[in-house]
Amino acid sequence: MIKRIVCVCAIVLLMIGRVSARPAAAGLDVQVKDVRAQAQSVRATIELRDVVPDRFKRVLDDGGPLHLRVQAELWESRPVWDQLVYPAMVHILRFAQQAATRDIAIDDASGTTAYRAIPNPMAIELDLGARGRIVSDGHYYVHVVATVGTVAERDVEDAEDAVFGRAADANSLGSFGRMLFRTAMKIGDYLQSVSAETKSRKIAGAEIIKATP
């Protein structure tokens, strides 16, 4: 079982590398609108436009899901080399058209919200990390990569069963492997995708923390 988990993880890492190398495509656009301290955390407001490019609209119309992955990193700008302040924050959303109403259901970690159409622009707020790591005389920027695409959810489930056994029969090690496999697949195994990437302007640490509510 351990050998199978290691093998699968290696394959998934190759998939992630393949996806990250894809160039940005026209249509999807991402911007950093705001970076500020709020209570004890630093929060970024990310704005996305044209989240579903024309090439993917047919997927939703046919009842298939789309997945949007937004990765944000806060960096400190330094003279020699920049320093990553926090580990990357990843936010994943799933879009699907509801058969009865034709509304678009958007699922994420906080729950499900239905819209008549996908908001354009669509704003996402991400807590990047603890406020205490920001110093007033430092300078920072946020790097964001957004990727939207299709994931063969049924194929992911079938692959899990083939590697780890069915969920009902899985032991603790198999369950751990299943969880790791699914998490990695959600991140990396897009059948087709487009990406957009941006960096915010450089922001003084004093500007980030001055307006804490």
* Greatest pairwise CA separation for the chain in angstroms: 57
Q: What phi-psi label fits residue 127: left (phi over 0), alpha (psi between -120 and 50 degrees) or beta?
A: beta
pLDDT band at 153 (very low <50, low <70, confident <90, very high): low
pLDDT exceeds 60 at position 16: no
* Res 75: pLDDT: 96
Residue-range domain boundaries for the chain: 22-155+190-209
* Res 54: pLDDT: 84
The residue that leads in pLDDT, 21 or 84, is 84
Determine contact, residues 121/48, Cβ cutoff 8 Å.
yes
Fold topology of 22-155+190-209? Immunoglobulin-like (2.60.40)
Q: Which helix (H) or strand (E) holds 150?
A: strand 139-150
pLDDT band at 211 (very low <50, low <70, confident <90, very high): low
* Res 36: pLDDT: 93
pTM assigned to the model: 0.70
The residue that leads in pLDDT, 70 or 189, is 70
Average pLDDT, the chain: 76
Q: Using one digit for the tens of pLDDT, what is the confidence trace for 158-209?
A: 444 444 344 444 444 444 444 444 554 444 456 678 899 999 999 999 999 8
* Res 78: pLDDT: 93
